[in-house]
Chain A
Amino acid sequence: MPIDRKNIYKFPWSKADNPGAWVEVTDACDLTCPGCYRHRLEGHRPQKDVEDDILLCQRLTNCGRISIAGGEPLIYPHIAAVVNFIRRNGMQPVIFSNGQNLDRELAAGLRKAGLHQIFFHIDSGQDRPGWKGRSESGLNELRQFYADMISDLGTVQCGFNVTLTRKTLPEVPAVLDWVRKNIPKVQNVSLIALRGLDLSAGKRYMVDGKIVDTSRWQSGSPDSREINITSEEIYEVVEKAFAETRPAAYLSGTARPETHKFLIVLYLGSPRKIYGTVGARTVELNEVWTHLRKGRYMAGFPKPKIGKKIFLLSGLDRDVRKTFFRYLGAGLKNPARLFDPLYIQCINIQQPNEILDGEVNLCDGCLNQMAYKGGLIPSCQLDEYRLYGGPFMEAAEAPGDGRADTH
């Protein structure tokens, strides 16, 4: 079914009033994932610089959560201190990690420091030691290992990031099937379409009016088909496999408002069954109520065990109503199901930063803005600033039209 915007909620987030922000603590990493857009230039950053950036983000974006990313944040020596600094400043710390360096002792330390959530980037494109050659479904075993470990901590939420290529797109149902079965342990999965610079013949890019040398840029592809998977394509695969799927909310593109840069599906269910989704109205009420009460927006719901009170919104939200009827139907067949706890789980379909018809199409209202040299930039553009001094712009293809000088 095509996505009908009339039935989904556009998050009210903006640069200046956003639930999230991003900080990077290191650009060192213990994996080398194809498609990674972060270059190794600086190593570990001084803790004071990281803390200054966190406070600047909080001031400029009004955020309630900070994503700690890199590089691999778990190899950063002050990671627990950074987590604690964010918590002490009244925000939720979220770590984005490949998990390689995580053991139970470190996980317990991070929980004690105040960690709210950890996202594991696990997919088959990583050439991860010990897991080489595994398909996406073959990696569910590794995902289970981390989901169990985090679940044992009690209060820390768990999410997964999966970068999708044309090759792995058909495997999305196998990953989601595992995710849905683990609804008490897994609160988020982000299905992220691979993006990078289109390096096909004749493509040139410029920064500040000068053609740039893209041989230094590691995230690109000479095959434009590999970097043009859309959110709609991913959604179609998900909906075909799980018919009850309905999107509830989205973020659009900056240059192309008709694109879906974030497309959010929120499942309601128990470990035995997913009953359906919540709709736009519930997400809207959650956002506006949180903002009216706390003065800032929220990314997600406060607790994954949402409880049956969510069905009170059936009167306002058609999707919740449908889910409620499926829940009642399941309860009639097997009354024990009515006693199962009810959870909410977020599937985030992402179509990241891209250049479309010569224009940079970023996520409008992006959650992942970061401080850089005293200003705010989209984190996906950080290395454009670090390597070239500013964001890319597509240059004219015909030789001689741009300037010959490069940097």
Chain B
Amino acid sequence: MKSGSNLEKVLSAGHFAVTAELGPPMDCDAGAVLEKAKILKGAADAYNITDNQTAVVRMSSIAAAVLICKEGLEPVMQMTCRDRNRLAIQSDVLGAAALGIKNCLCIAGDHQSFGSAGKLKGHPGAKNVYDIDSIQLLSVLKGMRDEGRQQGGDPVEVRPPLFIGAAWTPMGDPIEFRPVRLKKKVDAGADFIQTQGIYDVEQFKEQMKIVQDMGLHERTAILAGIIVPRSLGMLKYMHNAVAGVTVPDALMQRMSTAKEAAGEDKKQARLNQQEEGVAIAVELIERVREIPGIRGVHVQAIEWEKKVPEILERAGLLPRPAPGGAKERGGAN
């Protein structure tokens, strides 16, 4: 065991792992974090706490992670390269490890200009850091954990037990380079991977074939990303505006049909689309489960955390195995 985290144990035991996501609030409301934690408890093996996601200032990932730890949920802290230099990163990781956080997802982080979108003002004028990139970050953490040294060379006596994760956009541009990038991440030290949201399962399968040929699926645990759609509008937005996400026409059509079935009734239309979205999410989970090399799913229901348990239930993924192997009870049904 590298870290002894629940996620690591579940994967080692050979189970199909589930991670979910929890976004912290834009203020210091610990209660809001705990609310979400209560909703999600028992639904997943570990819970990602985003780190100033889309460059919007929120309660820090480490702080929120500690809060949910107290509720008995295992966090996956997220560490972006945008906001911290290598000193702060290493310092924060050591601190997080001291506080008992074992899983860490290393990502580059959206450019700070993303923070001022829609109604939000964000901080588009902030200086971005990007002292090291996400791949270099993986190697830094691995260096601390496995070699007991800081990036600069100084020793790390008590090494942080970390289960190191990275993100992967399998269908990003240029698509033929994405498997190479995955390899770089794995080489650098990624123990597990959470992918960008998958809607086009066929295309994903093709990329996974290449990954299998490279043997990467055996060196790292790949969890397919599932973003639960709430509406046709959301699907369209993802397709057009989110890099690396393509939504096949069939799914668009289903959502569209669901919306139109309600006619003029807007409330009903909303409900129809939500229902369709949940159904789609369940199907996606079932389908990616069948792809060789996929060891789990990472479910994201942005500001819709209450649906996560239901989706996982319908996908037959509940209850989750208890830490140590036995199935756990819990979660709201």
Asked if A and B bind, the verdict is: no
